[in-house]
Amino acid sequence: MFIQKKVLSIILTTLLVLTSLLSASARAELNVFATVPEWGALAQELGGDQVKVFVATVAQQDPHHIQARPSLIARARSAQLLIAMGAELEIGWLPIVQRDSGNPGIQSGQAGYFEAAPIVPLRDIPKSVDRSMGDVHAEGNPHIQTDPRNLIPVAQALSARMILLDPAHASHYQDLLSRFIAGWEKNLAKWAEAARPLQGVRAWVQHDGFPYMFAWLGMEQVGTLEPRPGVEPSVSYLNEVLQRQSTAKGRMILVAAYLNDSPSKWFSEKTGLPVVVLPFTVGGNGDAKSLSSFYDDTVSRLLKALQQGAGG
């Protein structure tokens, strides 16, 4: 009798362990390594509690110039899905992280490596590139996140990649994608209505990071304060730009939150134009904490600057 009870106890214990393991397997999260906040936020919305997302950068960092720190390499080592912007945005550091991680699944060309930029038509593709041109991307401008319309095709492709890597939870990903698209289309209609006063508005930019946003809102970029992309302007160069304002008739100056806005402030003092510090990505300021609030805040700041300009 004692032996029977002992055997029964062992069987029950074994069943409990197996059940626990199966349950843990069913809940296993897809480890995601995102290079920039916008794709980390999108991955979280599309994956829900089935993904564990790590974002390599914060909004206040220049995503072009990141160090391939050991902590990033360690995170990449356990990632099953690496989400990058692509279009050479991370070319200075991500290849090192991939190589040194020793993780074959997230290497370029593998299922665990995903680039967002190639999903949509890229703007500002140069005919030729050389070092004298500054920080120019041969594949085109990578900052597709400044146009929220781009998020739907990227979301569809990213969701499909999650399903490929984690087919056991396909219905979960499909459901979250459907919810995201339905909500996003409502947001797009809301932003289009709110931003109507911005159509045709001319603006200066400190760095050429907003071509997709200008296309989305129907605004016009009249020039940049940088002599070449990524090159800080001198006072003499800014004075040259200042001379063009009389004919350019820009109504505001746009600068991304991660940049030193000193050139924009100088130009503002000389022209009286309002400086608009835009979040540029999720977390760019205290009001842009999610994907939707990122665009809410962007439109709000532009409209406020337009009113300030009109008042002046």
Low-confidence ranges of the chain (pLDDT < 70): 1-28, 128-137, 309-312
* CATH for the 196-311 domain, from 1.10.357.10, 3.40.50.1980, 1.10.760.10, 1.25.40.10: 3.40.50.1980
Q: What is the pLDDT of residue 126?
A: 81
Q: Which helix (H) or strand (E) holds 243?
A: helix 235-248
Q: What is the pLDDT of residue 128?
A: 56
Tell me which amino acid residue 203 is: A
Q: What is the pLDDT of residue 138?
A: 78
Q: What is the pLDDT of residue 310?
A: 60
Question: To which CATH superfamily is domain 29-120+133-191 assigned?
Answer: Nitrogenase molybdenum iron protein domain (3.40.50.1980)
Q: What is the pLDDT of residue 182?
A: 98
| Both structure tokens of 95 | 């290849």
Q: What is the pLDDT of residue 139?
A: 83
Helix, strand, or coil here: 308? Answer: helix
Tell me which amino acid residue 16 is: L
The closest alpha carbon to 203, from 191, 219, 218, 217, belongs to: 219
Q: What is the pLDDT of residue 17?
A: 35
Sign of the Cα torsion 124, 210, 250, 194 reads positive
Phi, psi of 129 (to 5 degrees): -135, 135
Please report, rounded to a whole number, the percentage of residues in the chain having pLDDT higher than 70.
87
